[in-house]
């Protein structure tokens, strides 16, 4: 199974983090349904052109979070997550990201108005990108 995860070696985030964030998003958004069999560690690493250690770490981290489950000899599957847990988990992640962004803005002495403007512009830009990708554009 092909998983739409892409890594960029030019980004400052470690490769495992890039993969983990994208895979978590695919699971929590429902794009990867409960019970979906994920590629083996070696297969996914080959697809991503990265180390099997990287993929193993991602699978272990997401299993520790309860998003994946591994059955010995069968493979790694997307775990069942009820909607309330999915919503809570999703919102907690967004709040954490906003808090980091606000902290950065405050450290750089941005005003509330500047930060709100930056948020609106970033939201509009990312929404347009996402809509473009859904429309088959890349």
pLDDT digits (tens, 9 = 90+) for 17-32: 999 999 998 998 888 9
Amino acid 8: pLDDT = 93
Give the global pTM.
0.68
33-92 pLDDT, tens digit each: 999 999 999 999 999 999 999 999 999 999 999 999 999 999 999 999 888 877 887 888
Is pLDDT at 105 greater than 50 in this prediction?
yes
In degrees and rounded to multiples of 5, residue 68 shows phi and psi of: -125, 160
Residue 70's beta-bridge partner residues?
76
**Helix, coil or strand: residue 119:** helix
- Scan for tokens 């272990």, then name that residue: 60
The two structure tokens encoding residue 96: 């954490």
Q: pLDDT category, 99, cuts 50, 70, 90?
A: very high
The two structure tokens encoding residue 84: 């309330």
Averaged over 98-105, what is the pLDDT? 96
């Amino acid at each position: 199974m092909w998983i739409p995860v892409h890594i960029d070696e030019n980004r400052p985030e470690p490769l495992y983090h890039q993969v983990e964030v994208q895979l978590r998003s695919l699971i929590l958004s429902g794009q990867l349904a409960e019970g979906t069999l994920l590629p083996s560690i070696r297969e996914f690493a080959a697809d991503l052109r990265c180390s099997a250690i990287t993929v193993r770490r991602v699978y272990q981290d997401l299993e520790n979070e309860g998003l994946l489950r591994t059955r010995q000899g069968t493979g790694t599957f997307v775990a069942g997550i009820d909607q309330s847990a999915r919503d809570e988990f999703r919102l907690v992640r967004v709040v954490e990201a906003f808090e980091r962004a606000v902290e950065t803005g405050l450290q750089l002495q941005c005003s509330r108005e500047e930060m709100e403007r930056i948020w609106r512009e970033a939201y509009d830009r990312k929404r347009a990108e996402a809509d473009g990708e859904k429309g088959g554009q890349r």
